[in-house]
Copies of this chain bind each other. A is one copy, B any other.
């Protein structure tokens, strides 16, 4: 028996199409399209690719896209001044500061300077607090992507035993909060956890977000469990070649799990789609409209 392969690429395409369809409705009600601003400091090659993709997909969704580039030697005050100007820009609903910032800059004050109502990356402490409290707010994109995939596979996750491996502020902790708010019984495991295999074996839902190649073995998994693999690890496969693998040993797990995300093509494509979703959600909230149906 082989697990259902959860096609994050197809799901993300569908989500982007629903967002694009909702944009004209928003524009009709608000008299403008939603706007997303991305701030890029310096010339990190990977960051430039991410920012280009974000801008491209923002425009494809029919939204207003702003890209602000600052030189690698920009000062803390300059970066925070850009954020402050975007906070008061009525055309901008979402502000994303591409991380990491150059080493001479302090990230926390930059993130904290973002208006929480425009914090489409969900990194502001107010966003984290709202999420934990179950209040309306903006949820980090990758965790939200995981939840949308889980809901698509399982429907209601209430009462399920969920194991989240990895307690990062950006992924593991927000996923744990989302699952708790959705009535799952959540265990949050990490590098200090003993007998991880036993925890995995109890879980109806496993979310691996720890950055250790193929840490979770197939034999650990409960038959029929749903496995969401957030890991993106590039490993050396010899002959000068590399391969992208997740935190789960996919070839083993696929024979035991009920459903599993591949790497690549699982959680990864969801991130930008959820960024656009957050921008649309923020735009509706700022315009005093009910949340969009996406």
> CB within 8 Å of B: which residues of A?
108, 124-130, 132-135, 158-159, 161, 167, 169, 173, 176-177, 180, 183-190, 192-194, 199
Contacts and interface: CB of A to CB of B under 8 A. Distances in A.
A133 to B, nearest CB: 5
Contacts of A108: 135
A186 B185 contact: no
A183 B161 CA distance: 21
Nearest to A124: B129
B183 A190 contact: yes
Given A125-B135, A134-B169, A187 B185 contact: yes
A192 B158 contact: yes
A194 B129 contact: no
Interface centre among A129, A135, A176, A194 (most CB of B within 10 A): A129
A112 to B, nearest CB: 9
Contacts of A161: 194
- Top 5 A-B pairs, shortest CB-CB distance: A125-B129, A129-B129, A128-B129, A187-B187, A185-B193
A164 to B, nearest CB: 10
10 contacts: A126-B129, A127-B129, A132-B177, A161-B194, A167-B180, A173-B180, A185-B187, A185-B194, A187-B187, A187-B188
A207 B173 CA distance: 20
B125 A193 contact: no
Nearest to A173: B132
A141 to B, nearest CB: 17
